[in-house]
C-alpha cells in the first residue's frame, strides 16, 4: 500500500497527463457529446438540375440513449447542392448536430447518376478522410432517395447494416460487393473497367426492376417539386418517438432485397451496360475470390438415371487462382477454380423417378453432376465475360492481369492493339471439384 | 549505466517501426506508387549497412561515449560540432512521430478536435517522458515493446488477408530517376540507427550479445515495413496517397462484417504508445546533445525549449500534414543524407584514430610497466612483505589492460 501511495505521489504528473489525453478530446467541444452527434450510416445520391440530391440514412441517439437506454431513431434527410460535399454539409447544418461520416457503410446512386461519369462524381468520397474507402457502392434502379427510404421497411439490423448483409450474401454467391476504392481504382486502371452491384428493395413479391423503376420515376417528379424533405421513421425501445417496448412503429416491415440484383459495368467511370441474365450475374459472382460458398442449380441434366433433371447443389471451400498465358500472341486470362466440397441437396428427376438417386455412392451420378457443374460454372463466367467484351469492357481485368503477370509480352501486345486490346483477349476457365457428397 | 542491451535494442526497433509505417507509405505512394516497397527495402538496407559501422564504432570505443571519443581524437570543438549535428537531426526526427500522432488524432480519430490545445498535452507528455532520462525511457520501451509489436503484427495480418497483391506488380516498369529521387527525398524517415551513437558508453555490459540481435531485429523490421507497404498499396492502389496513415487504414477492410465495430482501433492506439516513446526519446537525445555542447548542468532547459519548438513546428508547419511533411523532406533531404551516410563514415575514421592512439598509449604503458616491475622485483628482493608487492603489481596490470567491469564500480 505504501509503495502504491508512493507511486501515485511520484507519478501524479503522469496520471494527470494520461487523464488529459483520454478525456479532453471528448469534453472540450459540445459536438463531441453523444447526444449532439448523429451517425450517417448510409447515403443515397441522385442527380438533379442544379447538381446532386443527397439523402442520408442517419441514426440519431434519442435522449434516453445517453442515460443507458437502447433507443435509436432512424431518419432520412435530403438536401440538394451543386456538389455532393455541399449536400452533405447542408444535411449536417439542417440536423443541427455533428454528422459523423465515419460510420457510413454504403452509398447508393440513382440510375440518373449514370448519365455522367460516376467515378468523377464520387470524388468527394475518395478524398475525404472521414469517409472510409471501404464503403460499399450500389446502383439503384430508379431514384436512390426512394430506395434508401425503403430500408426503413427492412428489419433494423438489415437496414442499418446493409453492407454486412451484402458481405454475407457475396460470400454465399448472392451479391457483388464493390468497395468505393475498388470502383475508383478500376476506373482509372489500365483496363478502365469496373463493375458495381445493383440493389432493389421492394415489397415481397414485387422485386421486379422494371416495376420499381417506373414507380420510382413517378415519385421523382413529385419529390423534386417538393425540394428538400425530411422523412422520419422511429424504432427501438426508449426512443422519444418510438412505441414503448416495440421494434415496430406500426408499419409492417415487409420489404425484401432482390435475390439476384443486376450488375452494372463501366468504362472509365462511365456506365456502359448491365448484366441482367441469371447466368451472367452468377458468372460475375463466381469470378470473385471472396465468394467461397453458395448454392447452385443445374438444369436439364440427362444421363444414367437422370432424365432432364434439375439438381441443386451446395458448395463450400471454393478458391480462385488467376493466371495469364499468351496463346498465339494474345492474352488469355485463366481462372483456376477449385471447389473442395459439393453436396447434392436436391434432385428433381422429373419423368424418371428412381430409388437410385438416393445412392450417394453412385459413381455414374456423381460423375454426371461433376461434369455438368464444371460446365455450368465455365459457361456462367464466359457468358458474363462475352457480354461485356462486346461492349469493350474488360470486367475481369484481363489487360490489367496480363500487365501485372506477363509484363514484357503484354507490352508488345499492347503496343500493337492499344485500347482495343480486348478484341483478341480471351478467358479460360478450369474448374476442379474434389468431393461430391 | 543508463540502458541494458535489451532496452537499447527495443528502443531502436520501436523508433524504426513507428516512423516507417505511419505517414511515410502514403508519401512514398504519391511519388512511386506500387514500387514504394522497394524504397523501404533499399533505404532500410542502407540503414543496416551503416548500422554495422555503428557496431564497429561501439567495439572500438570501449567504454567511452561518442563524445569522449571525438573529444580525445580531435578537440572539444570536434565533439561539439558532431553533437550539434546530432541535436538538429534528432529534433527533426522527433517531429515525425509527433505529427503522426497529430494526424491520427486530429484528422482520423476525431471529427472536431482543437489540435492547438490537444497538442499542448501531447508536447507535455513527451517532455515528461524525456525528462525521466534514458534509463526510464529504456524501461518504458521494454515494458511496451511487446504490446507495440503484437499490435503491429495483428494489424498487418488483418490487412494481409484482404489485400490485392497483384496491384504491386509488375516491378519491371520502374521509373529509375523518380525512384532515386524518392529515396533521396524521404531519407529523413530513415537512419534510426544513429540513436545508437548516443547509447554508446551508456549500455550496461552483461553476458548478452548486442551485435547480431540488433542486425537481425533491424532486418526483420525492414522486411516487415516493406511488406506493410505492399499490403497497404494492395488495398488502396491509386488512393494510397490519400490515406495519411498506414497503420490506421491497413485493417479497414477486414472487419467490415463485425457488428461490434472496428476493434482494430484498440491495436492502432496501442501502437501509438510507440509513437510517444520514440518522440520522447528523440527529444531527450536532442536535449542531451545540447546539454553536452553548452555544458549545461540540467537537461530541463534544452528539453523545454525543444518541446516548445516541436509544438510550434507541428502547429505551423504541419497545419496540413501532407504539405508539411513534403516541406520538411525537401528542406532536410541533403542534411539527412549526410547524417545517414557521411557522418557514420567520419565517426568510423575518428574511432579508428582513437583506437590507434589508445594502442600506442598502451604500448608506452607496457614499457613503463616493465621498468616498474623491474623496480618491484628489486623491491621484492629487499622487502619481506610480499602482499604489498602483489597489490602494486595487480593494479598496474589492470590499468594497462582494463577488465570488462562496470565503470562506476571501478571508480
Q: Does B374 contact A at CB distance below 8 Å?
A: no
Higher pLDDT, B168 or A305: B168
For chain A, list residues whose CB is within 8 angstroms of any CB belonging to chain B. 13-14, 17, 20-21, 24-25, 28-29, 31-32, 98, 100, 102, 105, 126-127, 129-130, 132-134, 161, 163-164, 167-168, 179, 181, 184-185, 188-189, 322, 400-401, 403-405, 407-408
pLDDT of A16-72, one tens digit each?
Answer: 777 776 666 555 554 455 566 678 888 999 998 888 999 988 876 665 544 444 566
Considering only CA atoms, which of A172, A141, A251, A252 is closest in space to residue A204? A252
Quick one: pLDDT at residue B399? 47
- In angstroms, the separation between the Cα of residue A35 and the nearest Cα of chain B is 15
In tens, the pLDDT along A388-434 reads: 999 989 999 899 999 999 999 999 999 988 888 888 899 999 999 88
Contacts of A29 in chain B (CB under 8 A): 112, 114
In this complex, the residue of B108, B124, B242 whose CB is nearest that of residue A127 is B242
Residues of B in contact with A31 (CB under 8 A): 111-112
B31 reaches A (C-beta below 8 A)? no
Quick one: cell of A261?
Answer: 440484383
Is pLDDT of A221 > 90? no
DSSP A401-416: HHHHHSHHHHHHHHHH
Q: What is the structure's pLDDT at B52? A: 92
Residue B242 distance to chain A (closest CA, Å):
6
Q: Can you tell me the distance from the alpha carbon of A231 to that of A78, in angstroms, rounded to the nearest whole number?
A: 8
Residue-wise pLDDT tens digits, B102-146 = 888 877 777 667 788 888 888 999 999 999 888 899 999 999 999
Best residue in A59, A134, A412, A414 to probe B by mutation, most B CBs within 10 Å?
A: A134
CA angle A249, A253, A254 (to 5 degrees): 155
pLDDT at A331 over 80: yes
CA A127 to chain B, closest CA, distance in angstroms equals 6
**Chain B residue whose CA is closest to A167:** B257
Each residue's pLDDT tens digit, B32-88:
989 999 999 999 999 999 999 999 998 888 888 899 999 888 888 999 999 999 999
Instruction: Check if the beta carbon of residue B100 is closer than 8 Å to that of residue B22.
Output: yes
Put simply, the answer to whether A21 touches B239 (Cβ < 8 Å) is no
pLDDT score, position B380: 47
Task: Provide the shortest C-alpha distance from residue B197 to chain A (in Å).
Answer: 29
Arithmetic mean of pLDDT, A357-381 = 84
Q: Identify the band that residue B358 occupies on the pLDDT scale cut at 50, 70 and 90.
A: confident
DSSP state of B238: G
Task: Check pLDDT > 90 for residue B320.
Answer: no
Return the closest-CA partner of residue B104 out of B89, B115, B95. Answer: B115
Q: Say what the pLDDT of residue A27 is.
A: 52
The pLDDT of residue A183 is 92
The verdict on B266 touching A (C-beta cutoff 8 Å) is: no
Residue B100 has what pLDDT? 86
Q: Residue A404: which of B125, B166, B235 has the nearest Cβ?
A: B166
Mean pLDDT of B382-400: 47
B409 or B65, which is more confident? B65
Output the pLDDT for position A159: 59
Q: Does B227 touch chain A (CB under 8 A)?
A: no
Give the residue from chain A lying closest to B242, CA to CA: A127
Chosen from B171, B256, B257, B258 to mutate, greatest number of chain A CBs within 10 A: B256
Is A28–B244 a contact, with Cβ atoms under 8 angstroms apart?
Answer: no
Chain A positions touching B110 (Cβ under 8 A) are 25, 32
Say yes or no to pLDDT of A244 above 50: no
Least Cα distance to A41 among A189, A158, A188 occurs for: A158
Q: Which pLDDT score is estimated for A41?
A: 85
Which of B257, B268, B322 is the best substitution to test chain A (most A C-beta atoms within 10 A)?
Answer: B257
Confidence of residue A352 (pLDDT cuts 50, 70, 90): low
Name the B residues in 89-108 with CB < 8 Å from any A CB. 105, 107-108
What is the average per-residue pLDDT within B185-191? Answer: 92
The per-residue pLDDT for B81 is 93
Could you tell me the pLDDT band of residue B325, with boundaries at 50, 70 and 90? confident
CA-wise closest residue to B46 among B219, B277, B217, B200? B219
Cell numbers linked to A299: 438444369
Measured between beta carbons, the chain A residues lying within 8 angstroms of B170 are 403-405, 407
Convert A336-403 into a string of H (helix), E (strand) and C (coil).
Answer: EEEEEEEEEEEEECCCCCCHHHHCCCCHHHHHHHHHHHHHHHHHHHHHHHHHHHHCCCCCCCHHHHHH
Task: Tell me if A25 and B170 make a contact (CB, 8 A cut-off).
Answer: no
For chain B, positions 109-138, list CB contacts with chain A under 8 A. Answer: 110-114, 117-118, 121-122, 124-125, 128
Tell me the pLDDT tens digit for each residue of A254-300. 778 888 888 999 999 999 999 988 889 999 999 888 888 888 888 88
How do residues A144-195 score in pLDDT, each as one tens digit? Answer: 888 888 888 777 665 567 888 888 888 888 888 899 999 999 998 888 899 9
Name the CA dihedral angle for B82, B87, B88, B89, rounded to a multiple of 10 degrees.
80
Cβ atoms of B348 and B53 within 8 Å: the answer is: yes
Q: Do B252 and A134 touch (CB under 8 A)?
A: yes
Q: What is the pTM of this model?
A: 0.83
Burial of A38 from C-beta contacts in 10 A (0-12 / 13-18 / 19+):
buried
pLDDT of residue A308: 81
Contacts of B124 in chain A (CB under 8 A): 17, 20
Which positions in chain B touch A181 (Cβ < 8 Å)? 235-237, 239
- Whether the ipTM is more than 0.85: the answer is no
* Confidence tier at A229 by pLDDT (50, 70, 90): very low
Best of B111, B117, B125, B255 to substitute, by most chain A Cβ atoms within 10 angstroms, is B111
**Does the distance separating the beta carbons of A100 and B111 come in below 8 Å?**
yes
- Tell me which residue has cell 451543386: A82
- Mean pLDDT, rounded, of chain A: 78
Least confident of A356-370, B11-25, B31-45, B79-93: A356-370
In angstroms, the CA B278 to CA A115 distance is 52
Using the beta-carbon criterion (under 8 Å), do B114 and A29 form an inter-chain contact? Answer: yes
Chain B residues closer than 8 Å to A129 by CB: 107-108, 242, 244
pLDDT in tens, B225-268: 999 999 999 999 988 888 888 998 898 888 776 666 678 888 99
The pLDDT value given to residue A125: 85
Contact B257 A102 (CB under 8 A): no
For B264-296, write each residue's pLDDT tens digit. Answer: 888 999 999 999 999 999 999 999 999 999 988
Yes or no, beta carbons of B235 and A181 under 8 Å apart: yes
Q: Is the pLDDT of residue A217 over 70?
A: no
Question: What does the block give as the cell for B259?
Answer: 457488428
Name the residue among A25, A102, A407 with its Cβ closest to that of B172. A407
What gap in Å lies between CA B83 and CA B75, rounded to an integer? 13
pLDDT score of A168: 83
B207 touches chain A (CB under 8 A): no
Inter-chain residue contact B239 with A133, CB threshold 8 Å: yes
Amino acid at each position: 500500500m505504501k509503495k502504491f501511495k508512493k507511486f501515485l505521489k511520484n507519478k501524479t504528473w503522469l496520471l494527470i497527463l494520461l487523464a488529459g489525453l483520454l478525456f479532453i478530446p471528448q469534453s472540450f467541444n459540445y459536438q463531441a457529446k453523444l447526444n449532439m452527434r448523429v451517425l450517417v450510416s448510409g447515403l443515397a445520391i441522385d442527380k438533379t438540375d442544379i447538381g446532386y440530391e443527397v439523402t442520408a440514412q442517419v441514426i440519431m441517439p434519442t435522449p434516453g440513449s445517453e442515460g443507458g437506454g437502447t433507443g435509436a431513431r432512424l431518419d432520412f434527410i435530403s438536401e440538394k447542392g451543386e456538389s455532393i460535399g455541399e449536400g452533405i454539409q447542408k444535411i449536417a447544418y439542417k440536423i443541427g448536430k455533428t454528422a459523423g461520416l465515419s460510420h457510413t457503410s454504403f452509398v447508393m446512386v440513382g440510375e440518373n447518376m449514370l448519365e455522367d461519369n460516376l467515378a468523377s462524381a464520387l470524388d468527394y468520397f475518395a478524398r475525404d478522410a472521414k469517409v472510409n474507402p471501404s464503403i460499399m457502392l450500389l446502383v439503384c434502379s430508379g431514384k436512390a432517395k426512394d430506395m434508401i427510404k425503403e430500408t426503413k421497411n427492412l428489419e433494423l439490423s438489415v437496414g442499418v447494416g446493409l453492407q454486412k448483409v451484402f458481405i454475407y450474401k457475396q460470400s454465399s454467391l448472392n451479391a457483388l460487393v464493390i468497395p468505393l476504392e475498388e470502383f475508383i481504382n478500376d476506373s482509372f486502371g489500365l483496363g478502365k473497367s469496373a463493375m458495381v452491384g445493383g440493389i432493389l428493395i421492394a415489397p415481397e413479391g414485387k422485386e421486379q426492376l422494371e416495376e420499381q423503376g417506373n414507380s420510382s420515376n413517378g415519385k421523382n417528379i413529385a419529390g423534386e417539386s417538393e425540394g428538400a424533405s425530411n422523412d422520419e421513421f422511429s424504432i427501438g425501445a426508449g426512443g422519444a418517438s418510438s412505441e414503448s417496448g416495440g421494434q415496430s412503429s406500426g408499419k409492417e416491415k415487409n420489404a425484401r432485397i432482390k435475390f439476384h440484383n443486376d450488375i452494372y459495368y463501366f468504362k472509365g467511370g462511365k456506365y456502359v451496360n448491365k448484366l441482367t441474365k441469371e447466368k451472367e450475374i452468377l458468372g460475375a459472382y463466381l469470378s470473385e475470390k471472396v465468394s467461397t460458398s453458395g448454392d447452385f442449380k443445374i438444369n436439364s441434366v440427362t444421363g444414367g438415371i437422370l432424365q432432364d433433371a434439375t439438381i441443386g447443389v451446395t458448395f463450400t471451400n471454393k478458391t480462385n487462382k488467376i493466371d495469364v498465358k499468351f496463346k498465339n500472341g494474345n492474352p488469355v486470362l485463366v481462372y483456376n477454380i477449385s471447389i473442395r466440397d459439393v453436396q447434392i441437396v436436391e434432385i428433381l428427376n422429373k419423368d424418371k423417378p428412381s430409388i437410385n438417386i438416393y445412392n450417394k455412392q453412385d459413381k455414374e451420378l456423381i460423375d454426371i453432376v461433376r461434369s455438368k457443374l464444371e460446365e455450368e460454372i465455365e459457361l456462367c463466367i464466359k457468358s458474363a465475360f462475352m457480354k461485356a467484351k462486346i461492349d469493350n469492357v474488360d470486367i475481369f481485368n484481363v489487360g490489367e492481369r496480363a500487365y501485372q503477370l506477363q509484363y514484357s509480352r503484354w507490352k508488345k501486345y499492347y503496343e500493337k492493339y492499344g485500347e482495343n486490346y480486348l478484341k483478341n483477349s480471351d478467358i479460360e476457365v478450369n474448374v476442379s471439384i474434389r468431393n461430391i457428397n | 549505466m543508463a540502458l541494458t542491451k535489451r532496452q537499447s535494442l527495443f528502443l531502436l526497433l520501436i523508433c524504426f517501426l513507428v516512423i516507417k509505417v505511419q505517414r511515410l507509405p502514403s508519401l512514398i505512394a504519391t511519388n512511386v506508387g506500387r514500387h514504394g516497397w522497394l524504397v523501404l527495402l533499399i533505404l532500410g538496407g542502407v540503414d543496416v549497412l551503416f548500422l554495422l559501422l555503428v557496431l564497429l564504432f561501439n567495439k572500438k570505443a570501449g567504454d567511452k561515449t561518442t563524445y569522449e571519443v571525438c573529444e580525445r581524437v580531435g578537440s572539444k570543438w570536434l565533439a561539439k560540432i558532431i553533437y550539434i549535428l546530432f541535436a538538429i537531426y534528432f529534433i527533426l526526427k522527433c517531429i515525425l512521430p509527433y505529427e503522426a500522432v497529430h494526424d491520427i488524432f486530429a484528422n482520423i480519430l476525431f471529427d472536431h478536435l482543437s489540435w492547438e490545445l490537444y497538442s499542448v498535452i501531447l508536447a507535455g507528455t513527451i517532455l515528461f517522458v524525456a525528462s525521466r532520462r534514458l534509463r526510464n525511457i529504456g524501461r518504458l520501451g521494454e515494458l511496451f515493446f511487446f504490446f507495440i509489436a503484437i499490435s503491429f503484427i495483428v494489424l498487418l495480418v488483418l490487412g494481409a488477408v484482404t489485400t490485392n497483391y497483384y496491384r504491386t506488380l509488375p516491378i519491371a516498369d520502374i521509373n529509375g530517376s523518380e525512384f532515386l529521387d524518392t529515396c533521396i527525398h524521404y531519407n529523413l524517415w530513415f537512419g534510426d540507427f544513429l540513436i545508437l551513437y548516443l547509447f554508446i558508453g551508456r549500455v550496461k555490459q552483461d553476458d548478452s550479445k548486442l551485435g547480431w540481435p540488433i542486425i537481425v531485429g533491424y532486418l526483420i523490421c525492414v522486411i516487415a515495413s516493406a511488406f506493410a507497404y505492399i499490403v497497404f498499396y494492395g488495398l488502396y492502389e491509386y488512393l494510397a496517397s490519400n490515406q495519411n496513415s498506414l497503420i490506421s487504414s491497413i485493417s479497414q477492410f477486414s472487419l467490415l462484417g463485425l457488428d461490434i465495430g472496428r476493434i482494430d482501433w484498440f491495436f492502432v492506439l496501442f501502437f501509438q504508445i510507440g509513437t510517444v516513446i520514440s518522440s520522447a526519446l528523440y527529444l531527450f537525445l536532442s536535449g542531451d546533445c545540447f546539454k553536452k555542447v553548452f555544458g549545461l548542468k540540467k537537461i530541463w532547459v534544452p528539453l523545454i525549449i525543444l518541446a516548445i519548438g516541436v509544438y510550434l513546428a507541428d502547429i505551423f508547419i504541419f497545419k496540413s500534414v501532407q504539405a508539411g511533411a513534403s516541406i520538411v523532406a525537401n528542406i532536410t533531404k541533403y542534411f539527412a543524407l549526410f547524417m545517414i551516410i557521411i557522418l557514420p563514415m567520419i565517426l568510423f575514421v575518428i574511432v579508428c584514430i582513437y583506437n590507434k592512439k589508445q594502442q600506442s598509449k598502451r604500448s608506452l604503458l607496457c614499457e613503463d610497466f616493465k621498468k616498474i616491475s623491474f623496480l618491484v622485483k628489486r623491491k621484492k628482493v629487499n622487502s619481506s612483505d610480499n602482499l604489498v608487492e602483489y597489490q602494486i603489481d595487480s593494479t598496474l596490470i589492470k590499468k594497462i589492460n582494463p577488465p570488462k567491469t562496470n565503470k562506476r564500480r571501478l571508480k
